Amino acid sequence: MEWGEALRHKLDDFAFQVWPDITAPEQIEFALVWEPELGLLKRFPNLKGVVSLGAGVEHLMSDPSLPPGIPISRIVDPSVTAQMSEYAVYAALRHHRLMPSYGAAQQAHEWRPQPPPNTAGATIGILGLGVIGRDIAAKLRALGFPVLGWSRTPKKLGGIRCFAGDEGLWDMLPKTQVLICILPLTPQTRGIINSRTLAALPAGADIINLARGGHLVADDLLAAIESGHIAGATLDVFAEEPLPPHHPFWSHPQITVTPHIAAIGAAVGAAARIAESIRRALASQPLLDQIDRELGY
């Protein structure tokens, strides 16, 4: 097991038990998990911390029997941030430089040159200004795009116009030609890309979702594209994964589907930070990258 091997090198004075072969649940003090079955964590009466082996924690927060008061942290890995930013920048440039249109022209064997768009006039809006969202914003800004960012609470970023709260969202959307979603999935953000928010974007806008499938209302996106209001979308995450073979996203000419590969974390890169987090908890210090359980991220 990749995670077990990587962590044993960093925590060689710890004993490991691997689910489902756990013989002494009362000995478990830290749980490293990804999408554990509901109710699993309450079986460990002496739990001191939980580490989500990914950037998201919604798979934990949706468990009604999640033990209260137990600190939870998530993976913050520079390599994952870099991969996510690469995907977002590529997808934004692909839409900006009309590559889907040229792909369709190629399939039709048609020579259809178009004037290159004006980068300085193509505003990109980012939903979510955490570590990854800020990195995406900086890289797009460096390419000459005007970049807007939205978050739940106010933030200040150099060169990025920031919006916050419900009022800020509706103020930002009409100014956004390409909308990138990198939000955490919470009850407040579930379904945030819907018929209302899509309609608030300018005609011809594009959507890029590399956060969670639950942020997007699929039927609303399909309707907005069919109406001509939304030009297209690049989607890496879906409400059901793998995406079912019959899903209309697969064959839609204006939608690009990738199989949740915007970033794939490596255990070796994250092991040192997880080990440090566990040792901090044993010293009665907060976990590294600890989430706010009330906010859900």
Which 3 state secondary structure label does DSSP give 225? helix
Tokens of 19: 């689910």
Strand ranges (E), the chain: 30-33, 49-52, 72-74, 124-127, 147-151, 161-164, 178-181, 205-209, 230-235, 255-257
User: How would you classify residue 268: left for phi > 0, otherwise alpha for psi between -120 and 50, otherwise beta?
Assistant: alpha
The reply to whether 260 belongs to the active site is: yes
Identify the active-site residue in 59, 141, 260, 293: 260
Q: Describe the strand order of the beta sheet including 230-235 as a list of residue ranges.
A: 161-164, 147-151, 124-127, 178-181, 205-209, 230-235, 255-257
The reply to whether 212 belongs to the active site is: yes
Q: CA neighbours within 13 Å on the CB side: how many for 96?
A: 24
Q: With contact defined as beta carbons under 8 Å apart, do 180 and 210 qualify?
A: yes
CA max distance for the chain: 69
Identify the active-site residue in 74, 94, 152, 212: 212
**Which residues participate in catalysis according to the annotation?**
212, 260
